[in-house]
Amino acid sequence: MNHPIRLGILGAARIAAGFVAGARLSQRVEVVAVGSRDAAKAAEFARAHGIERALSYEELLGAMDIDAVYIPLPNSLHAPWSIAALRAGKHVLCEKPLALSEAEALEMFEAADAASVVLLEGYPYLYQPMMQQIERLIAEGAIGEIQTITAACGFTLNNPNDIRLDPSLGGGALLDSGCYPVSFIRQLIGNRPTRVSAVARWRNDVDETLAATLEFASGAIAQVTCSFATGLHRSALIAGSGGIIETEFQNHTIRSQTPSFRLRRGSDWRNPTETIPVPREDGFRLELDAFVDMIEHGDSAARRAASIDNAWTLAEILNIARGVATA
Ligand SMILES: NC(=O)c1ccc[n+]([C@@H]2O[C@H](COP(=O)([O-])OP(=O)(O)OC[C@H]3O[C@@H](n4cnc5c(N)ncnc54)[C@H](OP(=O)(O)O)[C@@H]3O)[C@@H](O)[C@H]2O)c1
């Protein structure tokens, strides 16, 4: 492309403000429009964030000069609006979790293929140099074979009207914050689990706190916890046959004073723990650059497979936690 990708945002969501700030750091995209169900809300968001056009969702998808769409809608609306945008010929960067089931994810990628456009699930942490360094160290054998991963993400949700507490909108701690540990584990192990077990505590018919165990063909076992009823936390411990890595796998290391992760080689507690510094980066900028790379050079089969596996795994965990029989 010889011009920056012209991007529209579907929904004046809270997260969209941070996204616009990250997009400003990229030379390769320009946020040109915001769509809302409410014209006054669209106009106010556009004014507050210096965006040219305030539109309805339908007008935004119909605009011929918009190349791509960012979708920060409630989780249950990711599939229908991504499919509508893909059918309108727009590349789509959709917020996590991409879909509520494997079938939905497959339908979304089919729509992308039919229109010859790109669909990407938005996980900013994946593009952080921290994550890439961790993946490289594991591939080089720095901690041996992964045996266990324990990964957690949670915070306190106080607003009773939050979309996260509405079951009809795809609410619940797993889909909101637990999708990070699930994606992190899938990224490092490289395939979906072969067996899942899970338990949850429920509030308003959504999972408020959930714990799951994932077993993999390699023999690795992973544990995921997530919650809307804890202090803010996000961390992972990857334990291999020859060492361990501990990380917060942040989306935006730009917020940390001294972003880093920890590596201890071998299995002797006296071995030094190396604190490995990483650059401070805005994850939205990195994610957008990866999105534009895909638009310019083609889809990533690995990213697509990961998103489909993530959708399957999240649905499987929820079904098991609810006691629904699965295949
Ligand atoms: N990557 C990250 O760091 C990150 C962080 C937080 C959230 N997220 C994801 O981003 C998405 C949005 O989260 P958020 O916290 O920004 O949510 P939010 O502030 O509630 O925004 C969701 C937006 O969706 C639109 N919408 C359309 N139909 C709706 C309905 N029936 N009910 C409520 N809203 C509706 C609304 O925009 P209009 O009224 O303008 O149409 C609303 O502003 C979620 O998928 C979440 O998982 C990602």
* Angstrom distance (rounded) from CA 263 to CA 246: 7
Look-up of token digits 């714990």: 211
Overall domain count for the chain = 2
Name the residue with the closest Cα to ligand 1, atom 10.
72
**Co-location of 39 and 21 in the same domain:** yes
The whole-number pLDDT of residue 327 equals 60
* Angstrom distance (rounded) from CA 39 to CA 20: 19
The identity of residue 130, as a single letter, is: M
Residue 37 CA, ligand 1 centroid: distance in Å: 12
**CB distance 224 to 249 below 8 Å:** no
The whole-number pLDDT of residue 20 equals 98
Q: Which domain holds residue 84?
A: 5-122
Residue 249 CA, ligand 1 centroid: distance in Å: 22
**Co-location of 175 and 280 in the same domain:** yes
The whole-number pLDDT of residue 254 equals 85
- Given 84, 106, 122, the domain boundary residue is 122
Mean of pLDDT values over 18-27: 97
Look at residue 52 and tell me whether its pLDDT is greater than 70. yes
- Given 92, 122, 152, the domain boundary residue is 122
Please check whether residue 293 lies inside any domain of the structure. no
Collapsing DSSP to helix, strand or coil, 236 comes out as: strand
The identity of residue 11, as a single letter, is: G
**Co-location of 77 and 61 in the same domain:** yes
Residue 274 CA, ligand 1 centroid: distance in Å: 39
Please check whether residue 101 lies inside any domain of the structure. yes
| Ligand 1 and 60: CB distance under 6 A | no
Please check whether residue 139 lies inside any domain of the structure. yes
Provide the mean pLDDT of the chain: 97
- Given 122, 144, 175, the domain boundary residue is 122
| Ligand 1 and 77: CB distance under 6 A | yes
Q: What is the pTM of this model?
A: 0.97
**Co-location of 118 and 130 in the same domain:** no
Residue 41 CA, ligand 1 centroid: distance in Å: 13
* Angstrom distance (rounded) from CA 124 to CA 286: 7
Mean of pLDDT values over 200-215: 97
Please check whether residue 137 lies inside any domain of the structure. yes
**Co-location of 210 and 268 in the same domain:** yes
Q: Which of the given ranges, 252-256, 262-266, 267-271, has the highest pLDDT on average?
A: 262-266
For 168, the token pair is: 């009809």
**Co-location of 37 and 132 in the same domain:** no
Domain CATH number, residue 197? 3.30.360.10
The whole-number pLDDT of residue 257 equals 82
Name the residue with the closest Cα to ligand 1, atom 43.
13
Look at residue 178 and tell me whether its pLDDT is greater than 80. yes
Cα 177 versus chain centre, distance: 9
Please check whether residue 294 lies inside any domain of the structure. no
Query: Could you identify the atom of ligand 1 that is nearest to the CA of residue 16?
Result: 16
**Co-location of 203 and 229 in the same domain:** yes
Domain CATH number, residue 12? 3.40.50.720
Please check whether residue 228 lies inside any domain of the structure. yes
**Co-location of 167 and 267 in the same domain:** yes
Which of 9, 10, 14, 232 to mutate for ligand 1's pocket (most ligand atoms within 8 Å of CB)?
14
Query: Could you identify the atom of ligand 1 that is nearest to the CA of residue 124?
Result: 1
Mean of pLDDT values over 89-114: 98
Mean of pLDDT values over 275-302: 96
Residue 11 CA, ligand 1 centroid: distance in Å: 7
**Co-location of 116 and 144 in the same domain:** no
Please check whether residue 258 lies inside any domain of the structure. yes
**Co-location of 106 and 212 in the same domain:** no
| Ligand 1 and 316: CB distance under 6 A | no
The whole-number pLDDT of residue 1 equals 63
**Co-location of 75 and 177 in the same domain:** no
| Ligand 1 and 283: CB distance under 6 A | no
Please check whether residue 298 lies inside any domain of the structure. no
Question: pLDDT confidence of 3, banded at 50, 70, 90?
Answer: confident
**Co-location of 147 and 213 in the same domain:** yes
CA dihedral 160, 163, 167, 170 (to 10 degrees): -150
Residue 115 CA, ligand 1 centroid: distance in Å: 26
